[in-house]
Amino acid sequence: MAPANPFTPSRPTGFGRNSTAEEVSAGLSLSGKTVLVTGCTSGLGRETCRVLSLRGAHVLGTGRTLASAEEACAMLPGRGSAYACDLADPDSVRACSARIRHDGHLLDAIVGNAGIMALPTLQQAHGYELQFFTNHVGHFMLITGLLDRLAADGRVVMLSSLAHAQAPRCGIDFDNLSGERGYNPWRQYGQSKLANLLFASELQRRFAGSQRTAYAVHPGVARTNLARHMGRSAQRFVELFGSLFLKDVSRGAATTVFAAAHPQALSLAGHYLVDCKAVRPSRQALDAALARRLWEVTEEIVHRLP
Ligand SMILES: NC(=O)c1ccc[n+]([C@@H]2O[C@H](COP(=O)([O-])OP(=O)(O)OC[C@H]3O[C@@H](n4cnc5c(N)ncnc54)[C@H](OP(=O)(O)O)[C@@H]3O)[C@@H](O)[C@H]2O)c1
């Protein structure tokens, strides 16, 4: 039996499903803090940047192109700096971390938010299934490449999802990271979100003995552009009926902002947070040996990339 991560249910934080990102950060001053957020151009990332910036943080927002990141950062109520970072393109990821290093930023938090979901057919980057590569490998490269720029009490927040529980039964199917031995849009999305969760828990283990912390977040099911790959009818359904049963982005960004900035989150470090509380994730997500193996395999993948 693989060693498991401990899970401790959290005490109530006073925040819940209906809390907004502005509510969970009310009264916090983030002035003097610098936070890097991937995927600042849309949905939850855009709202996360807006609220962190509203509270005084200098937001470093990344987009697949510099123009899209600049457009998003120009809308922020406070200080924002735009960076290009296409997570499916290793050159772009390396250039982004080099730029951030060159600009001399010390990061108080890194939010790995960008993501793609449920691509209808198999797509790949560098021989790996594209959701695994974009959501996990790209973030792994960016974040591990910037750990020496993370403050001594810095935080890393990874956007996972409830969908992590739809990963293959073995958790991460190391024999099928290309997707060529079987592809299912939701299973592969689930695997990538399990990878985000395992990355956060392994990072927390590697932070042991320091004041740095890592968190995985399920934001709730929120009305964003995430269904863009699922076809016109799915998007239309979200547009028409989404307001009836989905969170809006102000609520969807709440747990991310809580994890990135709220003092109460510190006692929940290493956990999977939903509605600003620690929640028990799937059995695979608690498998510390799986998290370590994923880290080592991803290091090898990154090492072999052009
Ligand atoms: N919305 C939900 O219900 C929900 C539920 C659970 C988890 N999540 C997670 O929340 C995160 C944010 O999703 P969202 O709902 O806000 O979706 P969204 O509106 O589609 O935003 C996704 C963001 O990721 C960026 N992105 C996509 N591919 C990229 C790439 N190759 N390199 C860099 N950036 C890339 C997008 O940039 P472009 O605009 O340039 O494409 C966009 O900024 C995702 O990780 C998602 O898995 C969302």
CA distance linking residue 123 with residue 132, whole number of Å = 10
Task: Give the distance (Å) from ligand 1 centre to CA of residue 61.
Answer: 13
Spell out the residues 6+ positions from residue 248 whose beta carbon is closer than 8 angstroms to its own.
222, 223
- 244 touches 221 (CB < 8 A): no
The ranges assigned to domains in the chain are: 21-304
Query: What's the pLDDT at 2?
Result: 44
Query: What's the pLDDT at 223?
Result: 87
Give the pair of three-digit tokens for residue 216: 């995985």
Query: What's the pLDDT at 225?
Result: 87
3-state secondary structure of 9: coil
- What kind of architecture, by CATH, is found in domain 21-304? 3-Layer(aba) Sandwich (3.40)
- Is 68 touching ligand 1 by the criterion CB < 6 Å? yes
Task: Identify which of 36, 40, 44, 273 to mutate to test ligand 1's pocket (most ligand atoms within 8 A of the CB).
Answer: 44
Query: What's the pLDDT at 245?
Result: 75
Query: What's the pLDDT at 232?
Result: 67
Write the residue with the smallest CA distance to atom 9 of ligand 1.
159
Residues in the chain: 306
Q: What are phi and psi of 7, to 5 degrees?
A: -125, 125
Segments of the chain scoring below 50 in pLDDT: 1-2
CA distance linking residue 156 with residue 211, whole number of Å = 12
Query: What's the pLDDT at 1?
Result: 36
